[in-house]
Structure 1
């Protein structure tokens, strides 16, 4: 269905970068400031190289610097032309610091990034909002950072990477979720460093050989974390806590929930803390982003999948700007009724992130 007028867009996955890791040095505490000044800020990095690169070449700032490092050019090149009401900034490079073995250094880098975000990005435009970053190695330090930065009005979520040493539902991480719920901040899980650092292998059977396989298998990570959240009773324990599964696809959700609900009926004694079917918690507490949306040859197949879960209320638009697989908000999901498009492109995110 062709839209009758441009829809407002709230983009839930826009990637800002620094010009270099040295941008964080003024915000680092000692002794990490001296270490970073001498040796550089380490990056998490993937164990795979994309054969086509990771960024859009047309997004290179005219003044130089890495793609996504110039707030002014991001506004000019993407935010304004595409009617983006809010661009929610997610630094996929910083969340990978949870893969460092040194939990104190990781926490220091996250603190520095959060201060950098508040000082150098969010003041540049009222259209910018930010996801704060935490390290997952040490929940106690993560909670202190959520309490420090979470009250800022331009911080709308807490971001972590999909890479982990254990499923996210386990009790080790629960203090983080209690802090997120206390501040009304969703947890955004974004891929980007699975298989690197101290993280487990990126698939259930180990390391794959190339970027194509890694990228295709990302839903495995999100499935494992979601089942863990549900079966460990996270949403029963923290009923106002919300999770956003970002950039992991969407069409795997219905069959996973069918399988889990069916198994729960026979095996519910192993999860006595659950009071409802697992799929019911998902409808109330979980969201997914549109990018990268699966694109079958027959578009009706995707529409059928949307009917199998509460897509119009669970999906959030994301472009993944300025990455290679950017989704143009004026071109995707055109076949949906305009009312559903409006929910997905802005209304769901406005409510979840409490945006004016």
Structure 2
């Protein structure tokens, strides 16, 4: 009928089909899916864990205490900072500390640390409103980065992970299950607990999980982790490894040094932050996980893109020179192109590196609501950052790749 109507109006059939294709391209471009958004511990309900924790773990798992300046998060006896703070650092908002945080405040984001305040990222209505404001149709949501570094007791840690995962899927359904897709926090205390939680969360309808790669009982390249990769492959449950920064970066040694040099330290740490996922990439491929489980998919979360070609070359060269005993049947870099993904926010050197990394392996994310996120200007950044790429490649990066990986159908 559509062709007949066009024909009656005197429109050439080929021209009509071309216009329809262009409209389809434009409509798809409107449906941005962020592959890297967040719910940080600072934004979680104050009693999420403490209201249901077994007595023996109540002092270990996250809870809040009221102080003069508002609620503070206490984890395993340590004050981590304010509730409803700025990003994963539990920071109070200080105008001028972060340029983009000031821009977020001007756009309507606020941080009130006192009981009863609205936490925008964990209030269904405001989270959806913030997606709309940013022009983002759907999101993959990482939960409580580094919480597993805060809880020493392994059983309490795994319980806290499960409790968050139950809450996260409920929150997504209250917000909009067709737009908000939480990732599970996968316990890193043992491969057995991790594999069990992968299977449990897959049955609940969670599409993937994040596994903290620091503080594991054995290294990521160890065969003990095979049950996790097997469970992930069987359940079609992609496993993410989100960057959390290098450990051991030299910090100011004294209070006096911190006063004068804190900005220097912050510059070094933030500039190198995403590169800790280099270790993950080489470890996963070296472990044989991709060789043994070809359906296993993994993601380097918020890792950036343009360092990958160098590491591909270094990895392939090192394998040829000193690691052929691993018995891989492909070049190490080819396993990434078959089974690996990266997410990025913005990258001035993205365009020439896309063919080297693979246009099917790159996913964009806005990083909402972190201090260096793109909210609420994601579309403006993408228009500039992706301008040199073809419409097909652009669509893959902002929509198709993440939709395919997590089986998301954005209507």
Normalised TM-score (structure 1): 0.83
Change (3 A) 1:65 1:167: farther
Map 1:277-356 to 2 at 5 A: 277-291=331-345, 293-295=346-348, 301-310=349-358, 312-327=359-374, 328-331=377-380, 332=382, 333-335=385-387, 336-356=389-409
Could you tell me which runs of 5 or more consecutive residues in structure 2 were left unpaired when the two chains were aligned. 1-24, 66-72, 81-87, 252-264
Q: Deviations over 1:102-137 (max 9, x none)?
A: 111110110110111122333321311110112202
Per-residue deviation, 1:73: 0.5
Change (3 A) 1:265 1:111: same
Q: Which residue of 2 aligns with 1:76?
A: 129
Map 1:206-225 to 2 at 5 A: 206-209=248-251, 210-225=265-280
Are the aligned partners of 2:124 and 2:174 in contact in 1 as well (CA < 8 Å)? no
Normalised TM-score (structure 2): 0.72
Q: Which residue of 2 aligns with 1:118?
A: 169
Q: Which residue of 2 aligns with 1:197?
A: none
Q: Which residue of 2 aligns with 1:184?
A: 236
Per-residue deviation, 1:92: 3.2
Which residue among 209, 212, 231 is the counterpart of 1:158?
209
Choose 1 or 2 for highest CA Rg: 2
Change (3 A) 1:80 1:259: same
* 2:402 aligned counterpart, secondary structure: helix
Matched, 1:60 2:102: no
Distance in 2 of aligned mates of 1:54 and 1:168: 35
Distance in 2 of aligned mates of 1:142 and 1:169: 15
Q: Which residue of 2 aligns with 1:198?
A: none
Per-residue deviation, 1:258: 0.8
Distance in 1 of aligned mates of 2:283 and 2:164: 29
**Number of aligned residue pairs:** 333
Could you tell me which runs of 5 or more consecutive residues in structure 1 were left unpaired when the two chains were aligned. 195-201, 296-300
Structure showing the higher helix proportion among its residues: 2
Which residue among 236, 246, 251 is the counterpart of 2:301?
246
Q: Deviations over 1:142-181 (max 9, x none)?
A: 222222222122x111112353456422223222222211
Per-residue deviation, 1:49: 7.6
Change (3 A) 1:21 1:180: farther
Distance in 2 of aligned mates of 1:302 and 1:86: 23
Distance in 1 of aligned mates of 2:162 and 2:100: 26
Distance in 2 of aligned mates of 1:132 and 1:308: 31
Distance in 2 of aligned mates of 1:339 and 1:54: 31
Q: RMSD between aligned alpha carbons?
A: 3.0
Change (3 A) 1:53 1:183: farther
